[in-house]
């Protein structure tokens, strides 16, 4: 049976931003309610080693770090619900009692006096029919999830940014050869990552190449090769034998039901006021990758989650809600 939940703060999303907002809000006595969404833990659940999150002298595993954040949020008083927000009524403002109305996939109704949107971003795909055909049969967007299945095999990573280079480096722990396919003649990844890439003998870079088709064989059919196009001469193609393909070309914001409720940019990222987590609607805040297409780091996501909670606390105090 559907339930109605009342809260001073509803946090939508369970990544570093959402958990940090929850920790700060709970410690302030706001009794936050966090709705996890489809992927509790966010992108860090598919990140192998994290070396740049402050406080750890040695690399830590992404899933472990997110589990620690979840336990901390619950320990200080956050209530977690495993649901997905599918409807939101925000742009008309709160009702007469100060509540915004949202609805979950479960049918539950959420009445919240403040909302922190921390739904993150999801991996982009190439858009090829063959890519869809072979998802789960050799095509993946998660090296940490699927790299184990390619021990001693040849794989390809598509992309040229931090995500692609990190995926390629991780896959060298499993695959015999990792082919990095990039449509340009230089990478966008951080220099330290580029150095690690160039220093790794298992990685072969294919410059100025784009994937034209993903080829499979067998019954059931699985990936066996890529058809590559020279981006400087679109008439020239070549075939590269691989057993797996990992797409790492960026992310799209998971704006979902909030896309037309708060101001967003042309790509769908939520716009926040400079130096704040405040959106175009008073009482509605955004934190993490849903509003950050520049840095996309766990530490910056956590920082904006902190900002969102502190701003929400201030909003409630001004409205004389809560304590």
C-alpha–C-alpha distance, residues 51 and 117, integer Å: 27
C-alpha–C-alpha distance, residues 43 and 211, integer Å: 25
Parallel/antiparallel/unpaired status of strands 100-104 and 85-89: antiparallel
Q: Taking phi first (over 0 means left), then psi (-120 to 50 degrees means alpha), and beta for anything else, what does residue 257 get?
A: alpha
C-alpha–C-alpha distance, residues 37 and 34, integer Å: 9
Task: Tell me the catalytic residues.
Answer: 142, 145-146
Token reading at 206: 């294919």
C-alpha–C-alpha distance, residues 308 and 272, integer Å: 11
* CB burial readout 246-268, b (16+ within 10 A) else e: bbbbbbebbbbbbeebbebeeeb
Token reading at 162: 């931090």
């Amino acid at each position: 049976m559907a339930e109605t939940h009342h809260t001073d703060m509803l946090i939508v999303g369970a990544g570093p931003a959402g958990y940090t907002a929850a920790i700060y809000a709970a410690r302030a006595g706001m009794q936050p309610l966090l709705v996890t969404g489809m992927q509790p833990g966010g992108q860090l659940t598919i990140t192998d080693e994290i070396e740049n999150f402050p406080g750890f002298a040695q690399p830590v595993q992404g899933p472990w770090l997110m589990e620690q954040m979840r336990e901390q949020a619950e320990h200080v008083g956050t209530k977690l619900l495993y649901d997905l927000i599918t409807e939101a009524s925000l742009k008309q403002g709160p009702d007469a009692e100060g509540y915004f109305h949202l609805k979950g996939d479960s049918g539950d109704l959420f009445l919240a006096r403040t909302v922190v949107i921390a739904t993150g971003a999801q991996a982009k795909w190439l858009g090829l029919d063959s890519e869809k055909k072979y998802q789960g049969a050799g095509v993946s967007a998660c090296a940490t999830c699927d790299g184990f299945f390619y021990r001693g095999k040849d794989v390809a990573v598509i992309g040229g940014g931090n995500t692609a280079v990190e995926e390629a480096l991780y896959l060298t722990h499993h695959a015999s050869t990792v082919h990095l396919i990039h449509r340009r003649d230089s990478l966008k990844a951080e220099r330290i990552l580029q150095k690690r890439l160039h220093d790794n003998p298992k990685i072969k870079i294919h410059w100025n190449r784009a994937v034209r088709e993903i080829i499979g064989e067998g019954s059931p059919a699985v990936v066996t090769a890529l058809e590559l196009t020279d981006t400087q001469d679109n008439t020239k193609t070549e075939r590269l034998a691989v057993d797996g393909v990992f797409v790492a070309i960026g992310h799209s914001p998971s704006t979902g039901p909030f896309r037309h409720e708060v101001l967003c940019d042309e790509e769908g990222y939520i716009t926040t006021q400079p130096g704040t987590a405040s959106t175009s609607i008073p009482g509605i805040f955004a934190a993490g990758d849903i509003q950050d297409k520049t840095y996309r780091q766990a530490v910056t996501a956590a920082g904006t989650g902190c900002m969102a909670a502190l701003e929400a606390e201030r909003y409630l105090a001004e409205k004389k809600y809560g304590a």
